[in-house]
Homo-oligomer: A and B are copies of this chain.
Amino acid sequence: MPRSADQAYAELIRRFKDYSTLGSCAAVLGWDERVNLPRQGAGHRAEQMALLARLTHDMLVAPVIGELLTEVEGTTLVGDRESVPAVNVREIRRLYDRAVKLPAELVAELARVTTHAQQVWQEARQKHEFAAFQPWLEKIVALKRQEAQAIGYKEAPYDALLDEYEPGATAREITQVFAALRADLVPLIAAIAASGRQARQDILERDYPVDRQQVFGQAAAAAIGFDFGAGRLDRTTHPFCSGIGPGDCRITTRYNPRYFNEAFFGILHEAGHGLYEQGLAREHAGTPMGSAVSLGIHESQSRLWENQVGRGRPFWEHFFPRARQVFLDALHNISLDDFLFTINQVRPSFIRVEADEATYNLHIILRFELEQGLIGGDLQAADMPGAWDEKFRQLFGLTPPDSALGCLQDIHWSGGGIGYFPTYTLGNLYAAQFMEQARHDLGDLDGDFRQGRFDWLKGWLNDKIHRPGMRWTPGELCRRITGKPLSHQPLLAYLRQKYAPLYHL
């Protein structure tokens, strides 16, 4: 007797949940590697991770997955494309197709090359020598172009790579939004520079004892709604958030005893990611319906809490009096106005991860254009330093003094992560557009923030963004929530409103 569509679907979900659960085991090991691993344990950990990667991959590409998908597709079970089964089947199909389309040799070669390339990159950056990294960037670009061909695309090979991080997005759409953003952002940043006003930098570079930063940061994360009964905060070198599974989401940070921003805004940022993970639908855990929809939307949640909320005056009207008590030596003679100006100052700089809210997006636009050139074939790896510096001058009016402050600063390309960068600015754009809508839907959010209350906003995000999981694509989600496609205008409006009083614009 042939299996019914219901039975096939149940079996598909059972197998996919195993795949997800094994992936979540790797997530535990990955978190542990970056938080706890003894120095000498690195070799064995690499073997463990390689084995888990192989086993999860085998589970996903098992022929039975393809058969089950085929049995279910086209049946009435998935007739309503927004129903739970339809969403799960659509997304499992997407993952399955991506995985089976990639030849095993290409996957192995990419793993081999990027492992080596990351070591070379690290050394090249230290020595400011792009030449050492160049042949590896060439290899990686060639392999990623092969990957794009194997995956397939409608308009541009770059789209096939982008799709891994931002399902359904295309370079064409992003280019349009980024162009509009750039057109408005460059004059805004120029006006800020022309104002001649500067914040007091010394305020943040005082003594902020690490144990106090830890307690204060954890309290702030709890205040915005991160559930420490279902999560942790730990120290690491390169902070991240890991949503291991239901009831277990872990954020990390690093503390600089002489710089306030790094840990505090880092914790808010990671807690924003964490709220997304903690807000996913538990009843759909281990399936696409219970998973984050894209990196761009994920980043929107971190940027929303870090910047839209966490750098705002209402937030600090609540938190600054406490901060002044906790960091008495550093802040006792500092006014809220001075503090707010300092944490919101705009200063063009060479390093992306140190950039402010405004110039940050220019760093992303630069990378987005360059990596499109690499994948499209218009830009050769050998020409990268020149192209980078040229674009940097156009956007920032500055020339990087060396490649460590230029095209060697980021780890992404050495790890094969081409197509990842635009999700950062997509996150900023989505965050502004969602926040504009939340203020419209919920009324006086600033009044909440002044009282240290974040539950209305968190509830709105849970409801509108977290619980839907992958039900809609990022673009559809944006349209459903805000009634409009993604636009640069909310971010621009937000930045203008923020900087006008600070820089007397």
**Further 5 A-B residue pairs, CB within 8 A, beyond A21-B48, A25-B29, A44-B285:** A21-B51, A39-B230, A41-B230, A41-B245, A41-B248
Cα of A227 to Cα of B39 in the assembled complex, Å: 11
Q: Out of B38, B52, B247, which one reaches A25, CB within 8 Å?
A: B52
Q: Return chain B residues, CB-CB under 8 Å to A55.
A: 22, 55
A153 contacts chain B at the CB level, 8 A cutoff: no
Q: How far is the CB of A384 from chain B (nearest CB, A)?
A: 37
A441 contacts chain B at the CB level, 8 A cutoff: no
Which chain B residue lies CB-closest to A54?
B18
Q: Return chain B residues, CB-CB under 8 Å to A25.
A: 25, 29, 48, 51-52
Contact A44–B29 (Cβ < 8 Å): no
| A–B pairs, 5, beta carbons within 8 Å | A39-B230, A41-B244, A43-B247, A44-B244, A45-B248
In this complex, the interface size class of chain A, counting residues with CB under 8 Å from chain B, is 35 or more
A352 contacts chain B at the CB level, 8 A cutoff: no
Residues in A33-60 with C-beta less than 8 Å from chain B: 36-45, 47-48, 51-52, 55
Contact B245–A48 (Cβ < 8 Å): yes
Contact A248–B21 (Cβ < 8 Å): no
Q: Return chain B residues, CB-CB under 8 Å to A39.
A: 229-230, 247
Q: Return chain B residues, CB-CB under 8 Å to A227.
A: 40
A246 contacts chain B at the CB level, 8 A cutoff: yes
Q: Return chain B residues, CB-CB under 8 Å to A373.
A: none
Residues in A258-292 with C-beta less than 8 Å from chain B: 285
Contact B36–A48 (Cβ < 8 Å): no
Contact B22–A51 (Cβ < 8 Å): yes
Contact B18–A229 (Cβ < 8 Å): no
Cα of A247 to Cα of B22 in the assembled complex, Å: 24
A32 contacts chain B at the CB level, 8 A cutoff: yes
A452 contacts chain B at the CB level, 8 A cutoff: no
Which chain B residue lies CB-closest to A234?
B36
Cα of A285 to Cα of B45 in the assembled complex, Å: 13
A25, A42, A244 interface centre (most CB from chain B within 10 Å):
A25
Contact B42–A28 (Cβ < 8 Å): no
A231 contacts chain B at the CB level, 8 A cutoff: yes
Cα of A41 to Cα of B227 in the assembled complex, Å: 12
Contact A38–B228 (Cβ < 8 Å): yes
Contact B38–A28 (Cβ < 8 Å): no
Q: Return chain B residues, CB-CB under 8 Å to A42.
A: 247
A232 contacts chain B at the CB level, 8 A cutoff: yes
Cα of A247 to Cα of B41 in the assembled complex, Å: 4
A45, A232, A245, A248 interface centre (most CB from chain B within 10 Å):
A248
